[in-house]
Amino acid sequence: MTVGMSLSDRQGKWLGLLATVVLISALVSVYVVPSGDAWRWVNFAVDLVTLAASFTIAAVVSPHRWVHVGLVIVWVALALFIWPRPL
């Protein structure tokens, strides 16, 4: 965050919730979901949840609409890039 930036109570609650979601999904990705072909869709879903929560944090902090549109475009591009490939 930049110096002088103030967040409302509502934004602060959302940031806390989203940071918790990012932390939990990262821990689930590392410690709970095994790697391997049988689990590739679960890994994909957990990665998308982590990305979505991270990008939503950026959207909550930024008031500009172009940031929101850019984050959606990047999220879709990354989702297509990490899409599980058939064996």
pLDDT per residue as tens digits for the range 8-21: 777 888 888 999 99
Q: What share of the chain is helix, strand, coil (3-state, %, to 5)?
A: 75, 0, 25
Residue 40's domain comprises 9-81
Judge whether 23 lies within some domain. Answer: yes
pTM of the model: 0.73
36 found inside a domain: yes
In the numeric block, the tokens 């879709």 are attached to 76
Residue percentage of the chain with pLDDT more than 70: 92
Q: Tokens at residue 61, please?
A: 């902090």
Is residue 84 scored above 70 in pLDDT?
yes
Q: Is the pLDDT of residue 63 over 80?
A: no
Decide if 3 is inside a domain: no
Asked whether residue 13 is domain-assigned, the answer is yes
Give the C-alpha separation, 63 to 59, whole Å: 7
Q: How many domains does the chain have?
A: 1
Task: Identify the pLDDT of residue 20.
Answer: 92
pLDDT value at 64 more than 90: no
